[in-house]
A and B are shown apart, each in its own frame.
Chain A
């Protein structure tokens, strides 16, 4: 079955294996097949016809992968694994092989009107009917209804950002879940709805938009705040200082190389504690926690152990998926730690 993958992407891998220790699913199984190098070997077998798309391991591994891209920064050959995974799922999750829960999720955010309906309770940041020239604050799709305080806080931290009402989903969910083309179309639509610079509170959206529209069009909020204000955040420090930890957004860190900025900001509002696995995927991984709840919980476990050991006051997230994942995990374990978005904690929530 040739033509599934862009040859230049698939050719890049030199099979050195440096990605193995970085991969959370390889960490869970210890089996090469669920490592990035192993999955690339599966992709190559699919491309050359050695295996078919109905092969159980090909099906399982295309879905078991978190898509966290932790393999990319450690890759000496510069393999764009995230792009390969998108192409893989685009091929695998067609028709009957498409997970049922996914259809409903993507349907809900497939049209700008539906996304706006999600935000109807309107507790998110106040919007204007017409788009001014940028920079604009992006409301996100699920974030506007699940965590409306995030955009409200972001808007207060950065009042210079305009918030047009006519904005939909960025398409990251589609691109990561087998609808690559739709994912690109939605990103372009959002790019037109929000001309100029787009500031987002979601690491995953930032990476997807940067991939489609170009890095110069997009800033993640902490990146924007550091650029605009230096490392001095608008919030005032507390006494005694809060013990604050961070969960990186995988695509923000591994895709865009942004991870120092939120740390710089947090160190100014409290006692910043670097958790050993701060840079490792929390298991939310977009739709992963919904599609594979058991694996997702296994990936999350070590994070909850570390949060408990560090006895944090606040665990900060920079992506709505991680927000939901960690909030639920912390609640299940009955930890005292509060989970907040970086915008909320900077505002002194």
Chain B
């Protein structure tokens, strides 16, 4: 489905009557800058960029595009890592960042109502101003929009204790490809009227509908928080420590790990005094009542010690806590500075299989002569194997693709997933059927058709 230039011109004229010329871009320069998101090596070629400001405008543009059978790819800030916002078949990139208002923070209903283009961090700040917490905190939260986070079901560092974005979506207003507006759920914790469409839209990657308003659950903000770190000489010790921590009656808010490649890269870059001889580093954190935080950090430290941690430290001062968090935050910057191309994936396995998975990744990297560091959310098994290479080295790029294929296969073999929080997008679509099976994938296609009979929404991705 590729529209001719004349068809696009006609569509542009009709869209212009709805949202005004100043909210449409069709110049070659703008189209270049909306051809990609944050995914390496994935590029499309949009024909138009439109920036609607209201649900009515979104509906009108979708109805026109549907009639003309022109693809529409919804987009927030374009921080996607699986190619979800890349306009693979051209058409319209629909940018929702002008719909950026927090409409309400309700302390009595414990909900936030907002438009999709609000940045996730802004939503968090609006909630915090009233003593409330919106827990999902993906690494891109300072830039990413809440609409994008819902569409991709973003995770983050606090998922072990608080869950992921889907656990906070109470209500959704969305526009179907036809331009019809539907609502699912609302401000209620209990609501079983109809199929749970809000859950279906969460993680639908812009292939079913365009969300134009979200009602999100909030929690009372925790009173305090604390953090610490533990070194292990072997990865398997760290993995056993994770199991022991979780069996000790503590549910930490953060339980992150770095493998030795990541520890070395961070220390080379940030010089914060990490022990580069260690095989693995666990970073843990807890929030809540100050006494409970202290007690839990002590339990976590003891569990690590019992599994052979070579060194355990609980941050005693804000400066120490900052160093601990810096160690985790600096991983991606440090790895990405080693080579021009950084491929960051998110294969996920049951917690009990983490060591097996990471050792497999390390062996694959060695066998294929690639530099791959693995870090991630040890508490929920969500790993981030990250390859750094030179894109000019075509053979290395080829080997990296092969290795990631092997990583996905291993994740499936270990009862895991090809993607924990980044989405299927373009990159993981070829691996999807292996995980879900043919009947499941066929069902996804039928669901897609029910929402979007002409296949105009983000074609070439999920359900296509």
* Interface residues of A, Cβ cutoff 8 Å to B: 11-12, 14-18, 20-21, 30-33, 35, 37-38, 41-42, 45, 50-51, 55-58, 60-61, 74, 76-78
- Neighbour of A41 across the interface among B32, B79, B95, CB < 8 A: B32
A16 CA / B140 CA spacing, docked (Å): 8
- Neighbour of B36 across the interface among A41, A60, A77, CB < 8 A: A41
A76 CA / B266 CA spacing, docked (Å): 12
Is A20 within 8 A of B28, CB to CB?
no
Is A14 within 8 A of B336, CB to CB?
yes
Q: What's the minimum C-beta distance from B303 to chain A, rounded to whole angstroms?
A: 32
Task: Contacts A55-B28, A57-B27, A78-B333 known; list 6 others, CB within 8 Å.
Answer: A16-B38, A16-B143, A32-B30, A33-B25, A38-B33, A50-B32
Contacts of B49 in A (CB 8 A): 31
Is A77 within 8 A of B336, CB to CB?
yes
Is A30 within 8 A of B336, CB to CB?
no
Contacts of B27 in A (CB 8 A): 55-57
Most chain B beta carbons < 10 A, residue from A14, A41, A55, A74: A14
Q: What's the minimum C-beta distance from A27 to chain B, rounded to whole angstroms?
A: 11
Is A51 within 8 A of B337, CB to CB?
no
Determine whether B29 belongs to the interface, using a CB cutoff of 8 Å to chain A. Answer: yes
Q: A17-B38, A41-B36, A76-B336 are in contact. Are A57 and B143 (CB under 8 A)?
A: no
Report B97-146 residues with CB < 8 Å from chain A CB: 97-98, 119, 140, 142-144
Q: A20-B143, A56-B27 are in contact. Are A51 and B40 (CB under 8 A)?
A: no
Q: What's the minimum C-beta distance from A9 to chain B, rounded to whole angstroms?
A: 11
Q: What's the minimum C-beta distance from B459 to chain A, rounded to whole angstroms?
A: 21
Interface size range of chain B in the complex: 20 to 34
Contacts of B215 in A (CB 8 A): none
Q: A12-B340, A17-B77 are in contact. Are A42 and B333 (CB under 8 A)?
A: no
Is A15 within 8 A of B37, CB to CB?
yes
Determine whether B34 belongs to the interface, using a CB cutoff of 8 Å to chain A. Answer: yes
A42 CA / B39 CA spacing, docked (Å): 17
A8 CA / B33 CA spacing, docked (Å): 20
A14 CA / B143 CA spacing, docked (Å): 14
Is B51 within 8 A of A41, CB to CB?
no
Contacts of B234 in A (CB 8 A): none
Is A58 within 8 A of B98, CB to CB?
no
A21 CA / B140 CA spacing, docked (Å): 11
Number of A-B contacts (CB under 8 A): 90
Q: A14-B40, A14-B342, A17-B77 are in contact. Are A31 and B30 (CB under 8 A)?
A: yes
Q: Which 8 A-B pairs have the closest CB atoms?
A: A57-B29, A11-B340, A38-B33, A76-B333, A33-B33, A33-B30, A32-B33, A17-B79
Determine whether B373 belongs to the interface, using a CB cutoff of 8 Å to chain A. Answer: no
Determine whether B71 belongs to the interface, using a CB cutoff of 8 Å to chain A. Answer: no
Q: What's the minimum C-beta distance from B338 to chain A, rounded to whole angstroms?
A: 10
Q: A77-B333, A78-B333 are in contact. Are A15 and B40 (CB under 8 A)?
A: yes
A15 CA / B83 CA spacing, docked (Å): 12
Q: What's the minimum C-beta distance from B175 to chain A, rounded to whole angstroms?
A: 20
Determine whether B221 belongs to the interface, using a CB cutoff of 8 Å to chain A. Answer: no
A41 CA / B28 CA spacing, docked (Å): 12
Determine whether B74 belongs to the interface, using a CB cutoff of 8 Å to chain A. Answer: no
Residue of B nearest to A60 (CB): B29
Is B78 within 8 A of A56, CB to CB?
no
Contacts of A15 in B (CB 8 A): 36-40
Determine whether B181 belongs to the interface, using a CB cutoff of 8 Å to chain A. Answer: no
Determine whether B63 belongs to the interface, using a CB cutoff of 8 Å to chain A. Answer: no
- Neighbour of B140 across the interface among A18, A31, A42, A50, CB < 8 A: A18
Report B165-181 residues with CB < 8 Å from chain A CB: none
Is A55 within 8 A of B38, CB to CB?
no
A69 CA / B28 CA spacing, docked (Å): 25
Is B29 within 8 A of A61, CB to CB?
yes
Q: A16-B38, A18-B142, A76-B332 are in contact. Are A42 and B79 (CB under 8 A)?
A: no
Is B333 within 8 A of A45, CB to CB?
no
A21 CA / B34 CA spacing, docked (Å): 17
- Neighbour of B29 across the interface among A18, A37, A42, A78, CB < 8 A: A42
A334 CA / B39 CA spacing, docked (Å): 49
Is B37 within 8 A of A77, CB to CB?
no
Most chain A beta carbons < 10 A, residue from B28, B38, B49, B140: B28
Most chain B beta carbons < 10 A, residue from A20, A32, A50, A61: A32
Is B78 within 8 A of A17, CB to CB?
yes
Q: What's the minimum C-beta distance from B57 to chain A, rounded to whole angstroms?
A: 15
Contacts of B340 in A (CB 8 A): 11-12
16 A-B pairs with C-beta separation under 8 A: A11-B391, A14-B40, A14-B342, A16-B79, A17-B37, A17-B144, A18-B142, A32-B30, A32-B95, A33-B30, A33-B34, A42-B32, A42-B33, A58-B29, A77-B337, A77-B342
A56 CA / B36 CA spacing, docked (Å): 20
